[in-house]
Amino acid sequence: MVTLIDPARGVSSVADLAALNRTTGGPAGGGGDESAQMRTVTYRDALYEALAEEMARDPAVILMGEDLVHAGGAFGVSGDLRARFGPGRVLQTPISENGFVGAAVGAAMTGLRPVVEIMFMDFITLAMDQLANHAGKVHYMYAGQYSVPMVVRTPAGAGRGYGASHSQSLEGLLVQLPGIKVVAPNDPADAKGLLKSAIRDDNPVIFVENKLLYPKKGLLPENSSPIPLGQARVRREGRDISLVSYGRMLDLSLEAAALLDGEGVECEVIDLRTLKPLDVPSLVESVERTGRMVFVEAGTGGIGAEVCTQVLERCFGYLQGRVVRVAARDVPIPSAGPLEQRVIPQVADILDGCLECLRRD
């Protein structure tokens, strides 16, 4: 739990730490499209809409994955799309990730735009040969004669008691693959807009969907447009700490920021949205203003290592405190709820990270 008193330094609260360290400079702007015509949808429904609209717009878009016929995929995202568009465009696959991801790579090379669903992110490891040695390299190995415009959607993360082999967040592995983009939206509007852009992109894109976000509700503009990949978003303005995250951990970061605000500490909360390519200029702009950064992720640290290194290389002279990473513990994820919560970052862990960042000793 976070400690709001630091006896060794004679500081009475986090607010005092912030005042002691605070630098000048106004908050950055940010946010999405504030359209007058808005409606409330779930994250799951926003993804469904993106798939349906892109399939209607472009006959080259096809879906591939397990249990698409009766269940609409493991978490029901594709719904009735097979009934709407037919079995020629919504293909039920065998339980063979390496096989159907390889088939999608070949389909993309011939001009189709496959959207592949991996039932759980843990199983993406079975398709790593196709992703690492084929999807990401074909365009370069053949001097641009071929592209692989495919999307791999995959539910990720813990929190539902699914155990060690159905709960992982493996983005840290995937961002190391040259030629592949990685996207991880937090809310329904970003989920829809970013999925549309991913489908239209001529590169392979891995689209990470945290399981706990599927029922999340949010406002979605009517006639929403694609959101460009590679652009971070400021979700909350502040001048004391740049609190950076993505996906499900962004919700916890916003909760922590609200608690710290009550203690007089302003966190600028940045949603990466795209993990590769990173929006490094937005990170640098924020950290140069706040002088501090805390990064939060559901995995064991791979994304945070890259983000923190990028910031340290560019902002070292601006830093007024330690760059802090908050990540999962380096153990397999348990099934039992209390143990699962000990492994995955919680709001208290983020508060501790922010307190550590504010200290100057």
Cβ distance 119 to 67 under 8 Å? yes
70 given a catalytic annotation: no
Query: CA torsion sign, 241 to 247 to 252 to 258?
Result: positive
166 given a catalytic annotation: yes
Catalytic residue among 134, 166, 306, 340: 166
With 0-12 CB in 10 A as exposed, 13-18 as middle and 19+ as buried, what is 331?
Answer: exposed
Q: Would strands 181-183 and 274-276 be described as parallel, antiparallel, or unpaired?
A: antiparallel
SS3 49: helix
* CB half-sphere exposure, 151, CA atoms < 13 A: 26
Distance of CA 152 to the CA centre of its chain: 14
3-state SS track over 166-223: CCCCCHHHHCCCCCCEEECCCCHHHHHHHHHHHHHCCCCEEEEEEHHHCCCEEEEECC
Q: Among residues 148, 146, 166, 141, which one has the least CA distance to residue 156?
A: 166
Catalytic residue among 49, 54, 66, 97: 97
Cβ distance 224 to 192 under 8 Å? yes
Instruction: State the catalytic residues.
Output: 97, 166
